[in-house]
Homo-oligomer: A and B are copies of this chain.
């Protein structure tokens, strides 16, 4: 399960490379599992090394500290072959995207939530997470391009990120900040509101004039 923030709790299917790549995969799997189970507060180089079955010295040499482990696990998420949904309609695509997000946030323990919590405490992890979010929103811009081609959105240039944030932010807001109970209708409701706003021109670039 990979959500658009790339906070995959599973590892990529293919692991090219030899021992170095294998060790990295073992260590990052251990970081994800430790983060999800114990949160950032419980993350230690020793715990990760023990869980991964790798010598502590190896982890210290390659990742240096907990911050280095967090950055690498976030960067590894960016290397997975995640693709935005392609359902044939903008509403369908954004709903599917929100369903992925909701699933990643409501699963217990949630690696995605643990990573957000960690980013409040580690500037390096925060920066890595910001780069990953930017990448994923850039990947999702194709949803907007397809919608314009299908005539679902005004032909004028659309602020893709504005539209994507409007569609997805309520899911994060309710589940992460408001800690609302999961609602199976939420993904479609949030997507639908953004689509209606977009159809009314809320994200056409003329609104972005300086």
Q: Which residues of A contact B (CB under 8 A)?
A: 39, 41, 113, 116-117, 120-121, 126, 130, 133-134, 162, 165-166, 168-170, 172-174, 176-179, 185, 189-190, 192-194, 196-197, 199-203, 207-208
Chain B residues near A170: list those with CB within 8 A: 162, 165-166, 169
Instruction: State how many copies of this chain the complex holds.
Output: 2
- CB-nearest residue of chain B to A203: B193
Chain B residues near A189: list those with CB within 8 A: 162, 202, 207
Give the distance to chain B from A127, nearest Cβ to Cβ, in Å.
Answer: 8
Contact B200 A196 (CB under 8 A): yes
Q: A200-B196, A207-B192 are in contact. Are A177 and B172 (CB under 8 A)?
A: yes
Give the distance to chain B from A3, nearest Cβ to Cβ, in Å.
Answer: 13
